[in-house]
Amino acid sequence: MFPLQMVVFPGEDLNLHIFEPRYRQLIGDCETEGISFGIPAFINGKVSEIGTEISLISIEKRYPGGEMDIRTRAAGVFRIHRFYRQTPEKLYPGAETDPLDLDLDEDESVNEQILDLTRDLFQVLGIRKNLPETAENFLTYQIAHHVGFSIEQEYELLLLRNAIERQELMLLHLERVIPMAREMENLRKRAQMNGHFKNVIPPDLKNL
């Protein structure tokens, strides 16, 4: 196990810099034995019950002191039954886990709505990030880090194994956050106008 203060979603490519001796040993075991490892999110001082299985793709760079840069890819999700701060005869943590079934059959028409709303959000916030042109082969996991979720909300999304429930959560979030983002942008623009000379047309008082 490699607990981190982040949520990793299935299919996600993750680049990591490994520096602690225990995790250098973990990656070494993954390289030599062909094993995977798990990343459970570390939230509010606790290791989460649900984590993501991670496969080592490559070690991109090794440093003289033993540190390394690695490329990984997330696969499925699992549930932890028992967590061990240290695996027997190893430096790194371990756990007893079971894999969880995951429904990836998301409704393409709903994902089109999600992509449209995400484009609206990016436009309001001035974010320049490429999004898929269509929802074909698209999963909500692909944008989960980019729509303003807190780590707790990301973990809530990871907990949802049903595709429709994930889509509903994403839609609800976007529909709630976009008006908030627009209001914040309006506040920012009004704040920038303070101190400027304003061409204000007085009201017509004839009929008062």
Average pLDDT for 102-123 = 96
Give the separation between CA 30 and CA 27, rounded to whole angstroms: 5
Per-residue pLDDT at 197: 52
183 pLDDT band (50/70/90 cuts)? confident
Span of 11-20, 22-31, 159-168, 176-185 with lowest mean pLDDT? 176-185
Query: Is the pLDDT assigned to residue 195 strictly greater than 90?
Result: no
Domain architecture of the chain: domains with CATH: 13-100 (2.30.130.40), 108-193 (1.20.58)
For residue 195, give both structure tokens: 């101190």
Nearest Cα residue to 29 out of 96, 100, 94 = 94
Give the separation between CA 146 and CA 30, rounded to whole angstroms: 30
Helix (H) or strand (E) holding 156: helix 151-159
- Beta-bridge mates of residue 46: 43
DSSP 178: H
pLDDT digits (tens, 9 = 90+) for 126-144: 888 889 999 999 999 999 9
Query: What is the pTM for the complete model shown?
Result: 0.85
HEC per residue, 90-138: CCCCEEEEEEECCCCCCCHHHHHHHHHHHHHHHHHHCCCCCCCCCCCCC
3-state DSSP assignment of residue 60? strand
Per-residue pLDDT at 83: 96
3-state DSSP assignment of residue 20? coil
Beta strand 68-84 with 94-100 is antiparallel
125 burial via Cβ count (<10 Å: 0-12, 13-18, 19+): middle
119 pLDDT band (50/70/90 cuts)? very high
For residue 145, give both structure tokens: 């880090």
Q: From the CB of residue 48, how many other CB atoms can be counted at a distance below 10 Å?
A: 20
Per-residue pLDDT at 37: 97
- Beta-bridge mates of residue 41: 4
Q: CB–CB of 77/11 below 8 Å?
A: no
Give the separation between CA 110 and CA 6, rounded to whole angstroms: 27
Nearest Cα residue to 77 out of 51, 58, 55 = 51
pLDDT digits (tens, 9 = 90+) for 13-61: 999 999 999 999 999 999 999 999 999 999 999 999 999 999 999 999 9
